[in-house]
Amino acid sequence: MAMQRREIPEFIIPVSGSQDNLLSARWGQGLQLMVFSGNGKRRYMAGEADVAVNLDKPSVVHDVRWQTDMHYPATRKLAAQSHEIFTSLQKHTSDATDGTKKPQLVKFSRRYRVAMMECLEDLRKAASDMAEDEGDQETYKDMCQLYQQLELIWNLCEILYIENLPGGVILQQLLDWVKLHFTDADTLAARIISEGEINISKDYWSAVYIYVLQGRLAEARHLLSMNPETQHDVHGAYARIDELMRRMPVFSVFSRQSLAEFDLKWRNWQEICQQLLVDGVFVSYQPLETICRILAGQQDVLDQLQDLAGDWYQIMVTKLLYTNPMVKAVDLQYHAKSCMDKFRGSSRLLPLDQILLAALEYDVTQIIKISSSNLSNWWFVAHLADLLHHAGQLETHQLDFGATMREFLLLEYASTLMARESMWQIIIEYLEHCPVFGRHHLELFVEKIPLQSEKKAYKVLKICDEKNMDDQAQSICKVMGMRALQEKRLGTALTWCLRSQDASFATYLAEKFLTEYSLNGNFSNLDLIDNLGSSMLVSDRLTFLAKYRDFHRLYEEGEFAEAGELLLSLIEANLAPKQFMLILLTDALPLLELDVVVFSSKQTSQLLMCKENLLKWYQSEEYTREILPKKSKGHVELEKEKMELLQLGLSRNLSRALLEESVRT
């Protein structure tokens, strides 16, 4: 069947001056466009480069989002429920054997339908909820209609592709399908019965006819039995028709009856119906005659009852019921075509007609294609295609790209959810089940999840760990570290930095800590620094920070010898920033003042050497040009004083150490 050419839909944006200034658009996350009027490049090209234009109204940006179907409360529930079904379906089919597979798939299909029905119910409620505003109510009504259609299509696909019973006799299921979706007769009957006294009206007979047309003879008989006329049924016409209906043979795959047996019984029964008509038994009971004509499979009666018979697909089921009850599924398409030609005539086929026809023709690709180009909803096609894929129905149909199509649809569905931030966990699971491109989409998507809180960042990181997305995890840590730094939370920044193993950032943060120390004389985030362990090795500066902190601890604990040794090695290793050298040397002062000699003569000479180096640096061009101007006069004085103190302390220590060493030898 050729696709009909459709016009490209247009969306009009209430924007002024789009003719003169153009309309431009930028993509946001998911299906979101920022549309604005204006493009300076054109003005530039026109040679009016920087001519100012005063707008008489403030410029407007339009935030346009579409396929927001899944963003309403009712559909959000559907998205959540179907996600659950989807994931258990993926799990199930990977470890199911052929024998158990089919009944399980039918169960999954039904679960999807239950979710749809629930959604439909919620939408109906919302549509009639006065608390909703009018625009929303309209939206909900439209969505009701849409989901009704979707469920109808899904159900038919379930019968044809998932359940497809052995033998291919399908009528009973088609009858159930019609019964489930077209409930006019039930509505009518319920109203008539609730009125108490049965009033033989047009509606009464309509209800009876529809029941008969739908093959629901038990209901029809029940309704007939309530007719007061049955009380004085002198000619026995009511009894006759009741008997006929009661005895209509019904074929069921589960009965032990063979097709041939059933065929024989059926022919006998219908011959009786025809005979009764010929005999004119119901001549004076017009409605009963009509019923009998339906039972006898007379075509013209359907034309008369066209208003009640429903759409072409309902008529098809009625026709098959009373003329060809043993029809095989594969032959349905011929009946469908003829019914469509007869009852649709030349009027244009609606998308629903096309989809149902494609389903009856076993053209799966066509179902998906027409559905996705007409039904404004990726939820339906994505889940249906996935289910059909698991049922092995997507590949067999002259497609080598069945799996590609399934994946394509799942990716599209996932991207419609992206605009809704709370859906991120759901999206990840869908992407995971796309074997070809899923991983790439996942990598992109994971990075794009907004991280409003540390808690959320940890959640996303956990997922990165599970899926081995190291690059993404690292980037997330960097983003979080940078943000913490911006907010001046150094400890948090360092924690994130260590996770991402970012050496240059660690160096930067270590310096920040050191600056903080040189300004206040103490460290923040002590427990973090004390417990760095091997992670201090990320950067030299961080190692220095940790070791320097160790020195302080040793000093506080009175381990002066060890503290002195550590301090010396820190000074010698040259790990510290140049500007920090003086602080380190000054830290040696209290050790020099102790009663015991901490530094040996050799160590003292080393310290003296470092001091001299520092002095040289203070006189270097680099220092005088770049650092000196930034220091206040008082600061410079203080530094000078410290240097002198050092000189004094070191010299004194040297003599003490030499003395002590000579005594020892």
SS3 of residue 284 by DSSP? coil
Asked whether 287 and 202 are in contact (CB, 8 A), the reply is no
Nearer to another protein, 198 or 451 (CB): 451
Q: 650 near 607, Cβ under 8 Å?
A: yes
Count of residues of this chain found to bind another protein when the rule CB under 8 A is applied: 108
Q: Residue 640: count other Cβ atoms within 10 Å of its Cβ.
A: 11
Return the residue of 52, 130, 260, 278 that touches another protein, per CB under 8 A: 52
Question: Least Å distance between CB 512 and another protein?
Answer: 9
Q: How far apart are CA 488 and CA 460, in angstroms?
A: 23
String of b and e for 450-462 (b: at least 16 CB within 10 Å)? ebeeeeebeebbe
- Give the one residue of 372, 543, 601, 603 binding another protein; rule: CB under 8 A: 372
Instruction: Report if residue 51 touches another protein, rule: CB under 8 A.
Output: yes
Work out which of 238, 262, 322, 378 binds another protein, going by CB under 8 A: 378
Could you tell me the smallest distance in angstroms from the CB atom of residue 136 to another protein? 9
Extract the tokens encoding 447.
């990075």
Among 74, 308, 368, 506, binds another protein (CB under 8 A): 368
Nearer residue to another protein within complex by CB, 59 or 268: 59
Minimum CB–partner distance for residue 526 and another protein (Å): 23
Q: Which is nearer to another protein, 199 or 373 (CB)?
A: 373
How many Cα atoms within 13 Å fall on the side-chain side of residue 435? Answer: 7
Which CB atom, from 218 or from 444, has the smaller least distance to another protein? 444
Q: Which is nearer to another protein, 36 or 599 (CB)?
A: 36
Between residue 66 and residue 105, which ones bind another protein under the rule CB under 8 A? 66-69
The residue within the footprint of another protein, chosen from 9, 73, 166, 533 (CB under 8 A), is 9
Q: Per CB under 8 A, which region of 42-50, 329-337, 558-566, 598-606 contacts another protein?
A: 42-50
Instruction: Give the CA count within 13 Å in the CB-facing half-sphere of 408.
Output: 8
Q: How far apart are CA 125 and CA 173, in angstroms?
A: 29
Give the span between the Cα atoms of 633 and 626, in whole angstroms: 15
| Beta carbon of residue 583, minimum distance to another protein (angstroms, whole number) | 21
Q: Output the smallest distance, CB 542 to another protein, in A.
A: 14
CB-based contact 322:269 (threshold 8 Å) = no
Site for another protein in 245-284 (CB under 8 A): none
39: left (phi over 0), alpha (psi -120 to 50) or beta: beta
CA–CA gap between residue 506 and residue 481 (Å, rounded): 10
Per CB under 8 A, the segment of 15-23, 112-120, 174-182, 592-600 that binds another protein is 15-23
- The answer to whether 487 contacts another protein (rule: CB under 8 A) is yes
Secondary structure (DSSP) of 398-411: T-S-HHHHHHHHHH
Q: What span, in angstroms and rounded, lies between the C-alpha atoms of 117 and 148?
A: 8
290 binds another protein, rule: CB under 8 A? no
Query: Is 197 a binder of another protein (CB under 8 A)?
Result: no
CB of 479 to another protein, least distance (A): 5
- CA 301/CA 319 separation, integer angstroms: 11
Print burial letters for 479-500: b (CB count within 10 Å at least 16), e (below 16).
ebbebbbeeebbbbbbbbbbbb
Nearer to another protein, 513 or 555 (CB): 513
Helical axes 134-157 vs 73-94, angle rounded to 10°: 20
Candidate ranges 85-93, 132-140, 191-199, 581-589; the one touching another protein (CB under 8 A): 132-140
- The pair of structure tokens assigned to 170 is 């399908």
Q: Tell which one of 47, 50, 345, 595 touches another protein (CB under 8 A).
A: 50
Pick from 230, 284, 504, 655 the residue near another protein by CB under 8 A.
504
Distance, CA of 663 to CA of 597 (rounded, Å) = 13
Q: Which residues pair with 35 in a beta bridge?
A: 25, 62
Tell me: does residue 36 bind another protein (CB under 8 A). yes
Which token pair is 319? 């026709």
In the complex, the smallest distance separating the C-beta of residue 461 from another protein, rounded to whole angstroms, is 15
Q: Which are the contacts of 6, defined by CB distance < 8 A and separation ≥ 6?
A: 373
Considering the rule CB under 8 A, would residue 373 count as an interface residue with another protein?
yes
Query: Which stretch in 131-139, 183-191, 207-215, 283-291 sits in contact with another protein by CB under 8 A?
Result: 131-139
Closest CB 455 distance from another protein, rounded Å: 16
* Residue 370 CB-half CA count within 13 A: 21
Residues 6+ apart with CB under 8 A from 209: 290, 291, 294, 305, 308
Q: Is 138 a residue that touches another protein (CB under 8 A)? A: yes
To another protein, the closest distance from the beta carbon of 641 in angstroms equals 32
| Residue 162 Cβ vs another protein, minimum distance, rounded to whole Å | 22
Burial 70-83 (b: 16+ CB within 10 A, else e): bbbebbbebbebbb
Phi, psi of 363 (to 5 degrees): -105, 85
Q: How far apart are CA 456 and CA 470, in angstroms?
A: 17
Q: Which of 169, 291, 449, 490 binds another protein (CB under 8 A)?
A: 449
* Min dist. Cβ of residue 336 to another protein (A): 23
* Binding residues for another protein restricted to 381-440, rule: CB under 8 A: 381, 401, 404-405, 408-409, 411-412, 415, 418, 436-437, 439-440
Q: Which one, 287 or 351, has the nearer CB to another protein?
A: 351
The strand pair at 23-27 and 32-37 is best described as antiparallel
Q: Which is nearer to another protein, 82 or 366 (CB)?
A: 366
Q: Given the rule CB under 8 A, which of 32-40, 294-302, 578-586, 595-603 is the region that contacts another protein?
A: 32-40
Determine if 39 is a binding residue for another protein (CB under 8 A).
yes
Residues 6+ apart with CB under 8 A from 610: 571, 572, 581, 585
Binding mask 203-222 for another protein (x = CB under 8 A): --------------------
Which amino acid belongs to residue 637?
A: E
Closest approach, Cβ 300 to another protein, in A, equals 36
Say if CB 17 and CB 39 are below 8 A apart: no
Q: Which of 104, 137, 333, 475 binds another protein (CB under 8 A)?
A: 475
Stretch binding another protein (CB under 8 A), from 47-55, 308-316, 518-526, 545-553 = 47-55
Q: Check binding of 48 to another protein (CB under 8 A).
A: yes
| Shorter beta-carbon distance to another protein: residue 202 or 488 | 488
